[in-house]
Amino acid sequence: MKKFHYAWVVVGVTFLALLASSGVRNAPSVMIKPLETEFGWDRGSISFAVAISLFAFGFGAPLGGSLINRFGARRVMMSGLVLVVLGLLPMINMTTLSEYQLFWGLVVGIGTGVVTNVLGSAIALRWFNQYRGVVLGLLGAATATGQLLLLPVLIWMASANGWRSVVLFLAVVVGIVIVPVFLFLRNRPDDIGQKPLGEVSLANASNDERFTPLGEALRNRNFWLLAGSFFICGYTTNGMIGTHLLPHAMEHGFVEAEMSLALAFMGAMNIVGTMASGWLSDRYDNRMLLGLYYGFRALALMALPFILEMQGMFLFSLIYGLDWVATVPPTVNLTAQHFGRLSVGTLYGWIFCSHMIGAGIASYAGGVFRDVLGDYHLIFISAALMGIVACALALNISPVRKVKTT
């Protein structure tokens, strides 16, 4: 019987932390209309605060990815979670837009940015030689699980008890997760006398210990192709759909109970798609996978403005859900393959930062377009066209060259 490897405990704890962080990130779509009703803020102003949070979230990612090498995963993850709690609690008594921008925009944004799949990817690559794609898919699915489990609850809570109950609930959830992170997360396998799980495969051996400085990566076209495609990934997911799908649906005759089911179904498909993507990324050309994902996403977004019934919304949730976070495993793998796995914490952190810059722009633009035009149709079409561009960028990434090991 094989000895149980502590890497699986680390994955479990990291999964919980990422799930809690993603639950927090899902809150803006639930809170937009209640904030409009209570304070009279317009959609663009609220979306701007969300954009600040997404920008801070993005810049928190390379910060967390870099600090893990210096302070270790446990300290970094706990710091991010504590920062989230410190940002959420004061929001319960906020009365001004500037407070929303400060607490949600900056404090929660940076905290959730530290506790994101950049940190999870760095942890996975430290603890696993085998099953990397599957583990990356599993940790990527934490985002989808947060949507599946928490978003319907948040919708119900906001409807029944107001947006403050959503904020308090999320603060409690994140606070609880801090406990297992403190007790069970370890920084490296050698901290407990173990080695990374599995043998180093021939495919990984050549780049396993390489580190590429950021300055060198910035001179490499593959870095910019990865960053550019991931910019569009953020534009078409967290920024556009994550922020504005629910308000769009409410304004076009969909009811909250049905939309909570559709969003939960999207989350379930997200889990399936991300896990499948992790498995596929260990076996097939990651560039082709990214091209496929972005292409299907573009088709789904192109159809969204014309969906007026729940059957169509569930079909959208199926197609869109399957490739929401599916882009993460191949993007992480391509970063490791081109620049070395020791570069992932820093370089994927900056690639992920571009993702959230795209998300922030889409969040704000969506709110402004809604205020000016009265609906989201044109901005959804723009996201579809950008999905086609992302497909082209992914397909132009250079093939991975296998270097002989000594």
Q: How many CB atoms lie within 10 A of CB 69?
A: 16
Can you give the C-alpha Rg of the chain in angstroms?
20
> How far is C-alpha 358 from the geometric centre of its chain's CA atoms?
12
Task: Name beta bridge partners: 128.
Answer: 197
User: Which residue segment(s) compose the domain that 169 sits in?
Assistant: 9-185+213-395
Question: The domain that contains 252 carries what CATH number?
Answer: 1.20.1250.20
Q: Tell me how far apart the alpha carbons of residues 114 and 158 are, in angstroms, rounded to a whole number.
A: 27
- 390's tokens: 């992302």
Which amino acid belongs to residue 352?
F
Let me know if residue 29 belongs to a domain: yes
Residues 6 or more apart in contact with residue 175 via CB below 8 angstroms? 81, 85
In a domain, 203, yes or no: no
Specify if 403 maps to a domain: no
Give the pLDDT of residue 208: 52
CA distance 300 to 321: 10
Task: Report how many domains make up the chain.
Answer: 1
Query: pLDDT per position in the chain (406 positions), as tens?
Result: 467 889 999 999 999 999 898 889 878 888 988 998 999 998 888 988 888 888 887 887 777 767 777 788 889 899 999 999 999 999 999 999 999 999 998 999 889 888 877 777 778 878 888 777 778 778 877 876 776 678 788 888 988 899 999 999 999 999 999 999 999 998 888 888 888 887 654 444 434 567 788 889 999 999 999 999 999 999 998 888 888 888 889 888 888 778 888 888 888 888 888 888 888 888 889 999 999 999 999 999 999 999 989 999 999 999 998 888 789 889 988 998 888 877 777 788 889 889 989 988 998 888 888 888 888 888 899 999 999 999 999 999 998 765 444 3
Please state, in angstroms and rounded to a whole number, the distance separating the CA atoms of residues 339 and 225.
13
Distance between CA 81 and CA 77 in Å, rounded? 6
Give the pLDDT score at 148.
67
CA separation for the pair 320, 314 (Å, rounded): 10
Q: Does residue 159 fall inside a structural domain?
A: yes
**Is the Cα torsion angle 114, 116, 117, 122 positive or negative in sign?**
positive
Predicted confidence at residue 363, as pLDDT, reads 87
